[in-house]
Amino acid sequence: MTGIKHIFFDLDHTLWDFNTNVEITLREMFVKYNLGKHISSPEVFIAEYRFQNERYWNLYIDGKITKKHLRTVRYRKTLEVFGIKDKAMAEQMGTDYIVLSPLQSACFPNCHATLDYLKEKYSLHIITNGFEEVQTVKVKSSGIDHYFDNLITSEKAGALKPHRKIFDYTMKLLNATADECIMIGDEPTKDIQGAHNAGIRAIYFNPAGEVLDGVHSISNLNQLMEIL
């Protein structure tokens, strides 16, 4: 692709392997809280947690519960399913998760090799809807911080993807035009439509191999070395 100077990456589910990192964290917590006494395996615990987490996330998204409540209730309900009624433990687990999960380091296959390659040719930046303090920790613990000139969070830009304001904010910061930039991300609306809203080209990353009509789609980060 011609004329590209800046590459924008999404972080969660694009570079930083969110699902794997959550699973590692929950396995650590299974051991730490001695859950084997009550629950047959970490897999059973993780499956129940995912169910409860999704249920309460949806309530949070709908504005029905607060973030603080979400952090604890997903553990309290998970524990209850296995006959553990311990509010203090659920609260401690909620706090632990927030601290431990960003410290995990799993990235998608070929992430480092691809960034090594791209860094030689382009200026790289992250654009993420996550919280500043959490995303900074993730980037450091996974050892990819040195590839990026900027970590732009929605907090910093004052807007969330897919709003064009977060892309405009980044371009202004870089003194760049839309056709000098390209966005890579896993969410069709937030990353791809968001970039398009700001007139920026985009590449869709889907490790399961799903493609988006009319959008360059990749299933492995190393494909970027052929395209860019």
12 contacts Mg ion (rule: CB under 5 A): yes
Residue 82 Cβ, how far from Mg ion at the closest point, in Å? Answer: 31
Give residue number: closest CB to Mg ion: 13
Residue 23 Cβ, how far from Mg ion at the closest point, in Å? Answer: 17
For residue 13, which amino acid is it? Answer: H
The Cα 9–Cα 47 span in angstroms is 29
Residues 6+ apart with CB under 8 A from 140: none
- In the set 104, 108, 186, 218, which binds Mg ion (CB under 5 A)? 186
The Cα 203–Cα 206 span in angstroms is 10
Q: Locate tokens 């450091």: which residue?
A: 140
Q: Which stretch binds Mg ion (CB under 5 A): 4-12, 47-55, 153-161, 167-175?
A: 4-12
10 contacts Mg ion (rule: CB under 5 A): yes
Q: How many residues bind Mg ion (CB under 5 A)?
A: 5
- Contact between 70 and 56 under an 8 Å Cβ cutoff? The reply is yes
Q: Which stretch binds Mg ion (CB under 5 A): 10-18, 38-46, 52-60, 150-158?
A: 10-18
Residues 6+ apart with CB under 8 A from 78: 45, 48, 49, 52
13 contacts Mg ion (rule: CB under 5 A): yes
**Residue numbers at the binding site for Mg ion (CB under 5 A):** 10, 12-14, 186
